[in-house]
Structure formats: structure tokens, C-alpha cells
Structure 1
Amino acid sequence: MAGTATYRLEFSPQWVVDAGIDELTARFIADAQSGIAGSGIRAGILGEQPTSEDAITDHDEKGLRASARAAIATGLALATHTTHGTMALEQIEILADEGVDLSRVVIGHMDNHTDLDYVRRVLDRGVCIGFDSIGKQVWDARQPRQLPTANGEFSKRALFRSDNIRAQWLAALISEGYQDQIVLSHDLIGAQVPLNPETHGQRGYTYLGTTFTQILLDHGVSTTDLDSLLHNNPARLLTVN
């Protein structure tokens, strides 16, 4: 399933920086209805549309509003990117202001937030959330690539998130009745494989459906609830309204 979105300002091509909301909206709608870049391959979801860490820039808001308007026009669900789980509630306010059906919104990367009560507050707005970095226990904070001005060490920020904690959180949320609002995924790129030799390095894209599902079962998650997370919820979201 292909998606269509822009990304944060520091990673965006100039045409995206220069585009207004209407132009981006038209581009997203065309990607969904005609095909991406003339390929004939149509986007089946809007996203993942991002915001920055601990901030929503004007560029971020422009993209969110364009995606929201395209979602309404096309009937597609809308998925977001939160940077390390931040600004989720603020994303929801913008999308609600645009009139999007919040049950058709997936707020992404909420398994990377550090406060389970915050995740509950997001769920209580009626959106779905992505526990979508399964297996990515260690990763570098992504920054635009720039060569240093002199020889020396790069300054890199790295993060850690335990899959065991992810499983504990999921088991708790499911026990509280949120199982129909959660979807699971990997958010996996090749550069993260050597950083996670015990997860992605062992199983790649199969890690979620093999190792991690067993971890969830060990935490008391039922097979019925796994069906919701892995089949029913994504099938509902990927159905065009």
C-alpha cells in the first residue's frame, strides 16, 4: 500500500517549501485518484504526514491541513508522523479543525513516547495510534546530512526504546479497551538493521509477525486482540470511505 505525504522542512525539496496548502492538497488528491508521479500507482493512504520534535512549524501545519483536506476529498485514512511521539494532541487539534473524521486518523510513533498516560489522552480523542516502531529499539535521531567544517567526530543523538516496554504498554491498553484503536508496524529502513541485530537483524520484516506477536501472547494479549491489531484495524482504515 503506497502513501503520499510531504516531510519536515529540513528534508523537503524546494517545490514543497514553496507550495501553498491548495497546491499540496491538489497534489495529494491527484496521487490518490490518478497515480503518483504519473506512474498510475494510486496512494491508498495519506501520510505519514509529519510534525517536528516538540514543535509544529508553519511548514508542518501546512502539510497537515493539506492532508486533512485531501483525506476528506478522497475518503482515504490519514496517518501522521510524530517525532518521538511529541505533538500528538496538537496534531489532533489541527485535523479536527479541518473537519476530519478522527476515527480515520492514525497518530504515528506513539510507542516512542515515554508517558503512557499521554498515550491514553491521545486515544481518548477517538483517533487510532500507531505502535509502529516495533523492533526499532535503538536508532539515531534523523538529521539532514551535513559535512562538518573540520575533521573530527560527528555529534549524533541516539535513542532507545525497549520492545518489552512496548509489549507491556500494549497489554495494558488492550486490557483497558483500546484494542480497536491500535495498529502495529515496523517503521523499518535498512540503516536501522545493524543498530538492532537482535530484532531486525534476525528477522527483518518478519519480526513483528513472529517474535513480537509471541512477546504479546506472553504478556497475556489474546489471539482475538491480535486479530484486531494486525488485521481488522488496518483493513478498516485502508477501506476507502
Structure 2
Amino acid sequence: MPTVNTVLGPVDTDDLGFVLSHEHVGTNAAGLRHTYPEFIDRNGIREQSIAAMSAVHADGVCRTIVDVSTFDLGRDVNLIREVSEGSGMQIIAATGNHVAVPRPFGDVPPDAIAELYVREIEEGIEGTSIKAGIIKVASDRGGITPPQEVVLRAAARAQKSTGVPISTHTWSPDRVGEQQVRILEEEGVDLDKVYIGHSNDDTDMEYLLGLLNKGVWLGLDRYPGGLTPGTPDWEQRTEVARKLMDAGFTNRIFLSHDYSVPKARYGAEVQEQRRRANPDGYNFIPRYVLPRLKALGASDADIQQITVGNARRFFAGA
């Protein structure tokens, strides 16, 4: 039976349950926790993350979270493992890179970076036995930069070597997912192993259907949304999800929040703004989005497919 790596070891894909496909335990920056550890309230992040994940897990809803924090987002795999142990949540950790690609990565061939990703998948992350279960890459406003292209090609080669799927960060108003797919196609990646994230930051159905017709998976993974001016609110995002279902793609979409706990030592005003924006945390989708989808005509079977069945198929490669 196919398995996927979690921070507590491999799990059968049939045992993933309800999956939130794009979340974070906590984010900061590369090297910060090593160089200025006093800047990060690690205990506070752990306690608040355990409480937030325990709440959604205790509701009998979510069983697995994909944490797509890469090392340059301050990934702390030991902290993620502690949160998993404390909450009962299965957590899949990521290798890869985010938007601000480390400067030396832009000066080397993709194969040199791919080797690093493969090591984190096959051997472990930062000297631990924790193995990555997904490869994260990122491109944003204005499209793919030259260093981001190197990283994207490295991710493609690591995916082909290991079979582990790719999850991307995009800016959908600039149709960045199309650029990512083009490069991944050039690298010969099976698009059934590709998840184009943040695809609900606008309502361009031509763009979204074009991606789905290429054979990728779509992450509708920014909820509640509406914080960035000009982007849809949560109800508009849910209407887009329903339109994609009506178009025959119930079996190719994911829902998630892109949430991380707002606990930190500094920036209290920003942290409070984030807390007010989503006081429900990882529970927002179960409490609001799924009932809204049902009100729009989605069946129980549709909800089960999106929240449980799709992740099982995505990670199993079926």
C-alpha cells in the first residue's frame, strides 16, 4: 500500500483522512532561530499550534495537515514533530524553497539543488530522521524569476527521482501557475504529481480550467481571504470552488487556509490583525466553507472527495 512521509514516520495514504493541504505550524526566516533565537517565541508557537490543531482534530474533522514551510521560511522540523505529538495531528513536512531564493542557488545548475531536496526526502532533514513528504516551490507577482526557475527545475528533477509530489506557491492574478506548468512540462514531470497552490486569489475561470485541463491539481488554499485588496472574500472563493465542481473537477481540487499561528515576541499589532482575520484558525473551512458548499448544492460525497479522497489519490499517485 502506498505511504507518505510524516514527521512521525510513514503513513498509509488510506489513513490520511481529512487533509488540509497547505498550512504552517509557524513561519519566520532562514537562520533566524539559530542566530537570534530570542526573537522567536518557540514555546508560544508550540503551545498555540498544539491548541489550534487539537481543536480541529478533536472536532473529528481534520486528521492530516501538510506544512509547506521550507528552510527559508524558518522551518523547524523538531518543533513540527512536537506539535504533531502534542496534538495528535499527522503532519507532512516539506523540502524545497520559497520566493526569496538563497543567492547561491541562482548560480548553480538545478541538479546541485535537486540533490539537497532528495536527501531531505530519502535520508532526513537537518540531521533528523524526519523525511519530507512534499516538495515546495514558489513564484509570485510578476512571474518566475531566473533563480526561481532554477529551483523549479531542481524540484522537477527531485520529483522524478523520488516520486514525491510538488506543491507550488503562486500569484494567480498574474497567471503564474501557467508559467510553472510550462517549465515542469519541459522537465518531463508527470503533472498528476503537481499541485498549483493559491489558485483562489481571483475568479478567472478560464485560467483555472486551463490549468485543470493540463492535468494538475488546484489548491484553493487561501481562506478566509479578502485581506489583499482586490482579492475575493471567502464566499466568492467558495463560489469558485463550486463552479469548478460543476465543471467536473471535484476530484482535482483541495481546500486549505495557508494559516500559521500568530504567536510571536514582536509585531503584536500585526499578529493581532492576523488573529482577527481568522479567529477560527484551522477550523474555518469545516465551520464555514463546507456548509456553504453544501448550501450551494454539493453533496456529502462531493465533500468527502475534496477533503479525503483527493489527498489519498494525490499522495498515492493514483
Quick check: 1:238 aligned with 2:315?
A: yes
Aligned to 1:71: 159
Q: 1:177 aligns with which of 223, 248, 252?
A: 248
Matched length: 219
Q: Which runs of 4+ in 1 moved over 6 A?
A: none
Quick check: 1:58 aligned with 2:146?
A: yes
CA displacement, residues 87-107 of structure 1 (integer Å, 9 cap, x when unaligned): 111111110111111111111
Aligned to 1:227: 304
Residue 212 of structure 1 aligns to which amino acid in structure 2?
A: V
Does the 8 Å CA contact 1:199/1:207 hold for their aligned counterparts?
no
Aligned to 1:206: 283
Aligned to 1:4: 95
Identify the range of structure 1 (86-95 vs 183-192) with the bigger mean alpha-carbon deviation: 183-192
Does the 8 Å CA contact 1:138/1:195 hold for their aligned counterparts?
no
Identify the range of structure 1 (99-108 vs 209-218) with the bigger mean alpha-carbon deviation: 209-218
Q: Looking at both structures, which has the greater relative contact order when contacts are Cα pairs under 8 Å and sequence separation is at least 6?
A: 2
Q: 2:110 aligns with which of 9, 21, 29?
A: 21
Does the 8 Å CA contact 1:138/1:196 hold for their aligned counterparts?
no
Aligned to 1:136: 225
Does the 8 Å CA contact 2:95/2:132 hold for their aligned counterparts?
yes
Aligned residues: CA RMSD: 2.1
* Amino-acid identity (%): 28
Aligned to 2:186: 97
Does the 8 Å CA contact 2:202/2:231 hold for their aligned counterparts?
no
Identify the range of structure 1 (107-116 vs 72-81) with the bigger mean alpha-carbon deviation: 107-116
Query: SS of 2:168's equivalent?
Result: strand
Does the 8 Å CA contact 1:109/1:130 hold for their aligned counterparts?
yes
Residue 209 of structure 2 aligns to which amino acid in structure 1?
A: R
Residue 2 of structure 1 aligns to which amino acid in structure 2?
A: A
Gaps of 5+ in 2: 1-91, 263-269
CA displacement, residues 163-190 of structure 1 (integer Å, 9 cap, x when unaligned): 1111111111111111111011111134
Q: How do residues 156-195 of structure 1 correspond to structure 2 at under 5 angstroms?
A: 158=229, 160-191=231-262, 194-195=272-273
Question: TM-score, normalised to structure 1's length?
Answer: 0.83
Gaps of 5+ in 1: 140-157
Query: SS of 2:214's equivalent?
Result: coil
